[in-house]
Chain A
Amino acid sequence: MDLGTSLINVALLAMLFVVAVAIIRMRSLFAIVMLAGAYSLLSATWFVVLDAVDVAFTEAAVGAGISTALMLGAMLLTSRTAKSERAILGVVPFLVCVLTGAVLIYATIDLPALGDAASAANSHVGAQYLERVQADTGVPNVVTAVLASYRGFDTLGETCVIFAAGVAVVLLLGFGERSLSARSDKGRSRKESK
């Protein structure tokens, strides 16, 4: 990896860290939702640096786009600020965090290097996909071929999950006709007052 890419990586990760700390420290929910969108956008940029454009696209569309809009919609139903908590430094939680972090950092030593052709993810089934995709499907974008054809059953499951989420929200909250009825009531009373 050349120096420029490393610098971009360090800068993006530092910005992610700053945004994460800001989200933890803030109490205004509106600012937190906006910062969460910024966090997703930064992650998407980082995925582009890692050559994972499909993942970056999904992160930008879903993480920065629609979840921000949905969180704003949910925020309207509640108060605008989170409860302020007194900052207390617990020794045991602090130790648990430090220990978990240390274990995770220790585990990264075993991870293969970025783009390592001999790593487990790239050598077995991944290499097979790359070799056979043109003969099997004739689709230029291998990601689409894997997602829609080789792993079509998985994608069906994902689509089911999204549908189930929509159904669950409808069962809990309804279709949102409430605003329509409230608005038409108000319109009627306004007309009557005129």
Chain B
Amino acid sequence: MTSHHVILRVVSKLLMPVIVVYAFYVQFHGDYGPGGGFQAGVILAVSVILFALVFGVPEALRAVPARFAASLAAIGLLLYAGVGIWAMLNGGNYLDYDFLVEEAPGGHAGQHLGILLIELGVLFTVSGSMLTIFYAFAGRVAEIRDEDW
């Protein structure tokens, strides 16, 4: 399907880096504006899905292997849960970010670090899971023919 869709290929090549940068903007700007790990994870997954739709699923599987996507999802969940354990090891409650770093009372470094880390975990889990689900569905048809669209 990909051989003659020149316009689609060129435009999506231009768009993909912009989509990825936007995903990271949404991720790291979540403290100040709308957005966060969930939305950023979905946008990140969409950039790979766009690649798969235009260049074919096998090409996408070569760029981002399905096992990598699934591992990413697991790593994200472990990171999130690990932040909670880390806070417990430092003497706080589960997921109590104030105990992550030693700081004067009223400081917010622990909160900022905790939110950054768990949002990163959410980003990994959401993008990994979404990609895994997409691969599982789209990978069952060998080739998407033009008349199928």
Which of A's residues lie within 8 Å of B, judged by CB? 30, 53-54, 56-58, 61-62, 65-66, 69-70, 73-74, 76-77, 80, 135-141, 143-145, 147-149, 152-153, 155-156, 158-160, 162-163, 165-166, 169-170, 172-180, 182-184, 186
Q: How many Å lie between the Cα of A72 and that of B66 in the bound state? A: 19
Q: How many Å lie between the Cα of A162 and that of B115 in the bound state? A: 19
Chain B at the A interface: mostly helix, strand, loop or mixed? helix
Q: How many Å lie between the Cα of A165 and that of B130 in the bound state? A: 9
Chain A at the B interface: mostly helix, strand, loop or mixed? helix
Given A144-B30, A156-B81, A166-B128: A66 touches B45 (CB 8 Å cut-off): yes
In chain B between 8 and 67, which residues have their CB closer than 8 angstroms to a CB of chain A?
A: 26, 30-36, 38-39, 42-43, 45-46, 49, 53, 56-58, 61, 66-67
Assess whether B99 is interfacial by the CB under 8 Å rule. Answer: no
Q: How many Å lie between the Cα of A85 and that of B118 in the bound state? A: 48
Q: Which residues of A contact B94 (CB under 8 A)?
A: 153
Q: Which residues of A contact B119 (CB under 8 A)?
A: 148
Which of B's residues lie within 8 Å of A, judged by CB? 26, 30-36, 38-39, 42-43, 45-46, 49, 53, 56-58, 61, 66-67, 70, 73-74, 76-77, 80-81, 84, 94-95, 97, 106, 108, 111-112, 114-115, 118-119, 121-122, 125-126, 128-130, 132-144, 148-149
